Amino acid sequence: MTAARAAAPSTFVHRYVPASAPGRPPILLLHGTGGNEDDLLGLGERVAPGSALISPRGKVREGGANRFFRRFAEGVFDEEDLAARTHELADFVDAIRAQEDVPAPVAIGFSNGANIAAAMLLLRPGTLAGAVLLRAMSPFAENSRFADPVAAIPGTPVLLLSGDADPIVPAADAARLAATLKGAGAEVTRQVLPAGHGLSSPDLGLTHRFVAGLSVPA
């Protein structure tokens, strides 16, 4: 694994791995509940070899586990907190881009990390050049004030990978997220894999192919 270095002080504990190959989009790695800034570095190097990697640690603690935003119960999000922390994370991404002189990143998020990546697409259009959402669910309720108006993210590539035996993310909820993103103009590819909430080999292969097909954003 390429040695990760800590970037200059910022609002998030994080790792930054400089790009080792030209022409590859930077990757924003967003861990799931209980992960940290080192959790997805190996995955990032496997699915996006040569890309710069930006990997922050979620700032919320839940029973000793790191998360990116608070929740009231499984699948019931504190939307006020989610919105505020989405903007905070987007500000961090903007700061890292300026500091490291890199273009807008493609997010690869798992579970809690995928949910805040989806929220960033909707609340801060333009921050991300694309996203891979692994086991994501809709970040906001259908009648949420945060979901109206829908953001405009025309042409933004999004890969949404769900598990058909996922006990956490209802199939209808993941489908609603896909529809919301498509309604905002994103180019969404959704696949339902024979898997639960954990990641599988097909997740890695599909993510690798998706990222390999992306060009460096302007």
169-191 exposure pattern, b = at least 16 Cβ within 10 A, e = fewer: beeeebeebbebbeebebebebe
- Looking at residue 5, its pLDDT comes to 38
- Count other C-beta atoms under 10 Å from residue 162's C-beta: 24
Over residues 17-50, the pLDDT tens digits come to 999 998 899 999 999 999 999 999 999 999 999 9
Return the pLDDT at 189: 98
Report domain extents, the chain.
14-212
Of 111, 138, 162, 203, the active-site residue reads 111
Q: Residue 69: what pLDDT?
A: 97
Q: Nearest Cα to 108, choosing from 87, 129, 138, 85?
A: 129
Convert the pLDDT of each residue in 170-210 to its tens digit: 999 999 999 999 999 999 999 999 999 999 999 999 999 99
- In which element (H, E) is residue 51 found? none
pLDDT on residue 147: 73
Catalytic residue among 39, 55, 162, 166: 166
Q: Across all residues in the chain, what is the average pLDDT? A: 92
Q: Does the active-site annotation cover 111?
A: yes
For the question of residue 197 being annotated catalytic, the response is yes
What's the number of CA atoms in the CB half-sphere (13 Å) around residue 131?
Answer: 30
Q: Which of 10, 94, 197, 208 is catalytic?
A: 197
Determine the pLDDT at residue 142. Answer: 87
Average pLDDT in the 93-100 region?
95
Split at pLDDT 50, 70, 90, the class of 3 is very low
- Asked about 94 being catalytic, the answer comes back as no
DSSP secondary structure letters along 174-194 = HHHHHHHHHHTT-EEEEEEES
Q: Are 133 and 162 in contact (CB under 8 A)?
A: no
pTM for the predicted model, two decimal places: 0.93
- Say if residue 99's pLDDT is above 70: yes
The fold of 14-212 is: Rossmann fold (3.40.50)
What pLDDT was estimated at residue 158?
A: 98
Residue 215: CB partners within 8 Å, gap ≥ 6? 23, 25
